[in-house]
Amino acid sequence: MNFTQTLRINQELRSQSPDEVLENYSGLAQSAFQADPGEATPTVICALNEARDIGSTLASLALSDRNVLPVVVDNGSTDGTPEIAETMGAVVLSEPRPSKMRAYQCALRFLE
């Protein structure tokens, strides 16, 4: 699946409610992300209050033909973003200091 197809799938998923995405895709995502973590390409997602979109983003990654290890770095969300990401099977890290750069640094420390 190419990048354009992945974007199309993400747009389709975003037309569903976050609860529908969790209900319909969390099992698939968990299986996809657990398939072979040693061979997976790390995919870092910095997130702050992304509950509306994090499920569809992770579902579209799970539906792609790439073996990815999603690493979601929560940057102080108050809307349930880290819980949704964890339910979808992503590795969830926390960086409480608000800064996208600090969130990326947190992910890099984890991946070393």
- For 72-107, write each residue's pLDDT tens digit: 999 999 999 999 999 999 999 999 998 999 999 999
Q: What is the chain's mean pLDDT, rounded?
A: 91
Lookup: tokens for 64:
């792609």
Task: List residues bridging with 70 in a β-sheet.
Answer: 43
Examine the pLDDT at 1 and tell me if it is beyond 70: no
Q: Which pLDDT score is estimated for 72?
A: 98
Burial of 80 (0-12, 13-18, 19+ CB in 10 A): middle
Q: Which pLDDT score is estimated for 5?
A: 81
Task: List residues bridging with 93 in a β-sheet.
Answer: 73
* pLDDT top residue among 44 and 34: 44
Q: Which tens digits make up the pLDDT trace of 35-77?
A: 666 788 999 999 999 999 999 999 999 988 888 999 999 999 9
Distance CA 6, CA 2 (A): 6
* Residues in the chain, total: 112
Sign of the CA dihedral with 6 first, then 3, 89, and 11 last: negative
